[in-house]
Structure 1
Amino acid sequence: MVVIQKVLLVDPKKCTGCRICEVACSLHKEGVCSSTRSRIHVLKWEAEGIDIPVVCWHCEDAPCEKVCPVKAIHRSPETGAMLIDQGLCIGCRECMAVCPFGGVTMSETGEMVKCDLCDGDPFCVKLCPTEAIEYAKPSRYILARKRESALKIGEMLKLA
């Protein structure tokens, strides 16, 4: 059994759609302010009138890890984050196809990228002005709430 240390928790009710999380991520990871180069993306759900930051959920039973033909995706023992080994990754996009939450994307340089929790100190959490993103130890209640949110996001992505 995998023990998840901490997880990113998103509260769509607090998100204003400012996209500061995207800018913080791209600046920290890529050295540029570009929402297209971020590992977190704010999805506007017009029908519900909410904005939802979409990011890798670092699933306990991660489908991206299972589907990778070269075993380039593994869990960090330090943070519990699912990581992509760029030295092994062949860019087949299988991980992107199976992620139910849109947490894996292909960069402009052709690399598969996803949130790595900034080595246990996520910049998106630090800079979110409304505290819509939290990095916390999961409880049974929190995990149930996270699964519920994840299912909603999955349904929304199917409609997009």
Structure 2
Amino acid sequence: MQRSLYIDPEKCTGCLQCEMACSYENEGVFNPAKSRIKVFTFHDEGRFVPYTCTQCDEAWCLHACPVEAITMNRETGAMVVADSVCVGCKVCTIACPFGTVNYNQDTGKVIKCDLCGGDPQCVAACPTEAITYVDADATGLEKMRAWAAKTDNSASVN
């Protein structure tokens, strides 16, 4: 069974524990700037939304890589960057429509969520269960539509 991250923005408090756990797991430091998951803050609405690579079926990053440094881990379904192959050209960062593939200046390579090899540390660190690791069939468009329907779009723009 393939699994994926499910994010429930209503439960996110903006504590950044997911970012801290991710940066520590992948970079060995507690530094949100080095995290592969980010928490976006909607200041006016007082809401927080974690976001990271969705491990999409299209995998534009994988197809765009000229040296085939990105491959799919068959066990987890994650698109994984092989540091030994990556040349740091950043073509995958341009190809990703969600902006979740990033360049690491320290290494000269790209970084993206790899689901921590099937044990995502952001999930373990989230105190409110805003991030969970679920059966991949349990996520999708209908849940995004339900969330969008809850958003108050009645505020006028001046």
Do these two structures clear the TM 0.5 threshold for a shared fold by scoring above it?
A: yes
Alpha-carbon distance, 1:146 to partner: 6.0
- Provide Cα deviations, 1:73-124, integer angstroms capped at 9, x if missing partner: 1100111100011111111111111212221111131220011101101010
Paired AA for residue 122 in structure 1: P
Task: Give 5+ residue unaligned stretches, structure 1.
Answer: 152-160
Aligned to 2:95: 98
- Could you tell me which of 113, 123, 130 is aligned with 1:132? 130
Aligned to 2:35: 38
For 2:56 and 2:39, the matched residues in 1 are separated by 20
Alpha-carbon distance, 1:147 to partner: 5.9
For 1:59 and 1:126, the matched residues in 2 are separated by 22
Task: Give 5+ residue unaligned stretches, structure 2.
Answer: 149-158
3-state secondary structure, aligned to 2:24: helix
For the pair shown, the structure with the greater C-alpha radius of gyration is 2
Provide closer, same or farther for how the CA distance between residues 76 and 12 of structure 1 changes in structure 2, counting only shifts above 3 A: same
Answer with 45-54 or 117-126: which moved more. 45-54
3-state secondary structure, aligned to 1:21: helix
Paired AA for residue 132 in structure 1: A
- Contact in 2 for aligned 1:54/1:102 (Cα 8 Å): no
Q: Does 2:126 match 1:120?
A: no
3-state secondary structure, aligned to 1:13: helix
Aligned to 1:54: 51
Paired AA for residue 133 in structure 1: I
For 1:68 and 1:123, the matched residues in 2 are separated by 27
For 1:30 and 1:66, the matched residues in 2 are separated by 26
Answer with 40-49 or 7-16: which moved more. 40-49
Q: Matched residues, percent identical?
A: 45
Provide closer, same or farther for how the CA distance between residues 46 and 98 of structure 1 changes in structure 2, counting only shifts above 3 A: farther
3-state secondary structure, aligned to 2:139: helix
- Could you tell me which of 17, 20, 23 is aligned with 2:20? 23
- Contact in 2 for aligned 1:54/1:101 (Cα 8 Å): no
Alpha-carbon distance, 1:28 to partner: 1.1
**Runs of at least 4 residues of structure 1 off by over 4 A?**
146-149
- Contact in 2 for aligned 1:67/1:95 (Cα 8 Å): yes
Aligned to 1:87: 84
Provide closer, same or farther for how the CA distance between residues 67 and 32 of structure 1 changes in structure 2, counting only shifts above 3 A: same
